[in-house]
Amino acid sequence: MSTENSQNRHREIKSFVLRQGRLTAAQQSALQNHWQDYGIDYCEQLLDFKTLFDNDNEVILEIGFGNGESLLQQAITQPQYNFIGIEVHAPGVGHLIHEAQTRDVHNIRVIRHDAVEVLQQQIADASITQLQLFFPDPWHKKRHHKRRIMKPAFIELVNQKLKTGGFFHMATDWQHYAEQMLEEMDNSDRFRNISGQGNYSKTRGARCETKFERRGIRLGHGVWDLIYEKL
């Protein structure tokens, strides 16, 4: 086997496929003109939250925020927290920055990069009060399940970054993925299911309902929330 083939075989499997969607004029303008206000460039250096936000507020981090609708609403309704959103797709990042700037929301920052690498390199251990993973790609075909972000190594990484007593909040509209999340989290001795072993949350907590979610509910799709406390 060639060296190149060996490297490819051992390359880490990503939980996302990077798609280059078309940017609207507003999204492009936001990325060009307001990245310095809301964007965080990826680098292998820990972030200083106090310097980043100019305050000592607790930080909530969301992975894969899509177009940012839910995350922006949280930032508006919970001004006592600072929010960091991670998303790889430019249109969603541009949309969130545009909306935050338009609505004069300043307790939010965004990173356009692979979330696992951001957690590993830029987020200090025991530094965030809540980590959110809402509607991650379910990779519904069995042969693609290996791409799902929820796996023991990721759970341990979340454990490292959360403060003791912090929360890991997940949501999915794919039942099989919900069952996997529940099983893997309940098997972890690092977390406590706040709804009790084997139970999904009866509420969505502080998670804001999105247009995508409301459409799914009208079509009869289920939504499962799981909320765990770090021990």
Active site residues: 137
Q: Which of 156, 153, 159, 160 is nearest to 124 (CA)?
A: 160
* DSSP classification of residue 146: G
Is-contact 167 192, C-beta < 8 A?
A: no
How do strand 108-111 and strand 82-86 relate by DSSP bridges? parallel
Q: Where are the alpha helices (DSSP H) in the chain?
A: 3-10, 25-33, 35-38, 49-53, 69-77, 90-102, 115-122, 152-161, 175-186, 211-218
C-alpha separations of 150 from 143, 147, 195, 225 in Å: 15, 9, 19, 14
- Rounded to a whole number of angstroms, the distance between the first and last alpha carbons of the chain is 45
Residue type present at position 85: G
Question: Which residues is 228 bridged to in the sheet?
Answer: 168, 193
Structure tokens that stand for 16 in this block: 């996302």
What value, to the nearest 5°, has the Cα angle with vertex 223 and ends 27 and 168? 75
CB atoms within 10 A of CB 186: 16
Structure tokens that stand for 154 in this block: 């990721």
